[in-house]
Amino acid sequence: MSLDLLKFRIGITLINGIGNNLAKNLIAYLGNEEAVFKEKKKNLSRIPGIGDTLAKEIVNHKQALLRAEQEIEFILKNNIQYLYYTDKNYPFRLKECPDAPLILFARCAQNLNDAKFVGIVGTRNATEYGKEICRNLACTLASVPNLVIISGLAYGIDICAHKAALDYKIPTVGVVAHGLDVIYPSAHRAVAVRMLEQGGIVTEYLSKTKPDRQNFIQRNRIIAGMSDALIVVESAQKGGALITAELANDYNRDVFAFPGRINDEWSKGCNALIKNNRASLIESPDDFIRQMGWDQQTNRKKDVQTALFTDLSEDETLIYGIIRKYQDGIHVNELSVASSIPYSKLTSLLLEMEFKALVKCIPGGIYKAIIPG
């Protein structure tokens, strides 16, 4: 793509009053982006949806093109990728959406048209319950080939999903609500840097764009649009995750939610989605994989978790693999039967595994696996 063409493509997004849909109509009507800037005012005003006011904005385009030239300098200096909606490398899932951005900017090692994109979103006030779900999801989804986890790099569930994906070697893409000259929140910069090598960062915003509230709402449509399926882990009665879920439903994506206790503040949104048939209920990552029809496509051992530990004995590996299958934990007596390890030997092994931070014992003789994240 020539830099002149890129200038016109960026410039059209900077004209006041010209949104993505109207810009696409203009380009289709006049043939190309450059023609939009060179057309006479009286001809522009006759185009459906334009009129005199917008025609005047288009004709007075000097500042828009100057800003576009500045952005091109930033793109070239920082090796930013630009994905235009007519390009082959533009995310094909997003292209299906009527309000898809005209152009995306990215720093990506990941193919944005890979086989499976799973959106994971939720509250910024993630509980231990939500964090554990994120880790369990990543642990299990690591067995699905060609899968990418996408989220918004925000506090709470978003960052938990990205971290868990990185830990389990799953490519993960963050959609941000600002330009690529900064990372917001700055506390997530280290995670974002890791994502550049194992996924990437995507935005529709030019450099120097501040992370204003309305931008976050806008970026949610990109997460929804780029996903094959969206999972809401935790959400209050209102919030960005529910907006993303509604958008995903509008785009005919598969939407799932984990239920929570009826009085838990950060599960009310998920429970409402399920109650109102706006999301399918899932109780485990395996539920999700099964409902998506991906259970026959796994090409790694389901128990990838044990690969993270290099110093486990054969018995410890067996015990850990069994415990991991029980999200709510397993009683020591049941574990003894399932593993065929005598009770006295088993309790000694479990104590060693507690010291190694592999398992934890909760009241009632129940043991749960600890999943790193």
The tens digit of pLDDT for each residue in 52-109 reads 999 999 888 889 999 999 999 999 999 999 999 999 999 999 998 989 999 999 999 8
**Pick the residue with more confidence: 236 or 303?**
236
Give me the percent of the chain exceeding a pLDDT of 70.
Answer: 95
**What does DSSP assign to residue 372?**
P
Please tell me the predicted confidence (pLDDT) of residue 297: 60
**β-strands 280-281, 254-257 pairing:** parallel
**Pick the residue with more confidence: 363 or 267?**
267
Within its chain, how far is the Cα of 345 from the centroid?
Answer: 44
Q: Which residues are CB-neighbours of 310 under 8 A, at least 6 positions away?
A: none
Confidence of residue 324 (pLDDT cuts 50, 70, 90): confident
Smallest CA-to-CA distance from 92 within 192, 227, 200 is with 227
CA separation for the pair 272, 236 (Å, rounded): 9
Confidence of residue 215 (pLDDT cuts 50, 70, 90): very high
The tens digit of pLDDT for each residue in 4-19 reads 889 999 999 999 988 8
**What does DSSP assign to residue 364?**
T
**What single-letter amino acid sits at 286?**
D
Please tell me the predicted confidence (pLDDT) of residue 307: 47
Tokens 């506090």 appear where? 155
Contact between 182 and 173 under an 8 Å Cβ cutoff? The reply is no
Please tell me the predicted confidence (pLDDT) of residue 296: 63
The tens digit of pLDDT for each residue in 264-293 reads 999 999 999 999 999 999 999 999 999 998
- Position 295 pLDDT exceeds 90: no
User: Domains in the chain, start-ordered, CATH in brackets?
Assistant: 3-77 (1.10.150.20), 108-292 (3.40.50.450), 305-369 (1.10.10.10)
Confidence of residue 300 (pLDDT cuts 50, 70, 90): very low
Please tell me the predicted confidence (pLDDT) of residue 301: 41
Smallest CA-to-CA distance from 6 within 112, 105, 98, 96 is with 105
